[in-house]
């Protein structure tokens, strides 16, 4: 059920698309918080100007991007919001997928439609930096065989990266399922 390393070490665009419909699971105070992933974005350094690893930039913050696929890259933006990313592909390929939204399984009334809200909903913070999704006891991703058609995946430009210039801010590396 839990996704294994093989899933995450595939090319990043493939992982970003295939994460849609998978279930993010968080164990918090002996309870499970679960949500169907419905929105992702791919960040493919070093060529991608919108990526933190553009031109192989390597800092304390983004070091985990250089890991193998399947680890959490989590960081704070705007001084108040955490963002959950999953590393992908091979070691020394600084690529990742930003998890932007889920459809909550447990509490369907709540809208989890943004990376900041998502981290609040799943109780995620900096302590998850570098967490291994294939072995962690408090966060992982499951394949519950939720199916949808390829044509139901909408592709759009990524959000909030106008600084990356005309080409990279417009490339359609954001993937959304709208059926949920």
Partner DNA sequence: TGTCCGATATCCT
Partner DNA sequence: GGATATCGGACAT
Q: Which residues bind DNA (CB under 7 A)?
A: 41, 43, 50-53, 57, 59-62, 73, 75-81, 83, 85, 96, 98, 114-118, 158-161, 163
Instruction: Select 7 or 168, whichever has its Cβ closest to DNA.
Output: 168
Distance of closest approach, residue 30 Cβ to DNA, in angstroms: 27
**Residues with Cβ within 8 Å of residue 40, at least 6 apart in sequence:** 16, 17, 19, 20, 97, 98, 99, 100, 174, 175
Instruction: Select 30 or 164, whichever has its Cβ closest to DNA.
Output: 164
Residues pairing with 22 in the sheet = none
Instruction: Select 144 or 155, whichever has its Cβ closest to DNA.
Output: 155
Instruction: Select 25 or 101, whichever has its Cβ closest to DNA.
Output: 101
Distance of closest approach, residue 160 Cβ to DNA, in angstroms: 2
User: What are the backbone angles phi and psi of residue 163, rounded to the nearest 5°?
Assistant: -65, -15
Query: Are the beta carbons of 21 and 147 closer than 8 angstroms?
Result: yes
Helix or strand run (H / E) with residue 6? helix 5-8
Distance of closest approach, residue 22 Cβ to DNA, in angstroms: 18
Distance of closest approach, residue 149 Cβ to DNA, in angstroms: 27
Q: What is the DSSP letter of 89?
A: S
Distance CA(52)–CA(69), nearest Å, equals 16
Distance of closest approach, residue 118 Cβ to DNA, in angstroms: 6
Distance CA(169)–CA(157), nearest Å, equals 7
Instruction: Select 119 or 177, whichever has its Cβ closest to DNA.
Output: 119
Token code pair at residue 119: 């981290």
């Amino acid at each position: 059920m839990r996704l294994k390393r093989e899933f995450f070490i595939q090319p990043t665009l493939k992982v970003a698309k295939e994460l849609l419909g998978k279930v993010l699971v968080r164990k918090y105070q002996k309870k499970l918080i679960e949500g169907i992933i419905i929105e992702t974005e791919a960040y493919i350094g070093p060529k991608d100007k919108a990526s933190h690893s553009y031109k192989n930039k390597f800092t304390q913050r983004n070091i985990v991007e250089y890991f193998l696929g399947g680890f959490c890259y989590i960081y704070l933006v705007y001084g108040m919001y955490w963002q959950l990313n999953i590393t992908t592909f091979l070691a020394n390929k600084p690529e990742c997928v930003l998890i932007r939204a889920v459809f909550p399984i447990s509490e369907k009334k709540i809208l989890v439609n943004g990376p900041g809200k998502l981290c609040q909903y799943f109780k995620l913070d900096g302590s998850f930096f570098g967490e291994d999704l294939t072995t962690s006891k408090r966060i992982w991703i499951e394949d519950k065989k939720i199916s949808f058609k390829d044509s139901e995946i909408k592709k759009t430009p990524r959000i909030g990266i106008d600084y990356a210039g005309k080409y990279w801010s417009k490339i359609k590396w954001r993937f959304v399922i709208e059926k949920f």
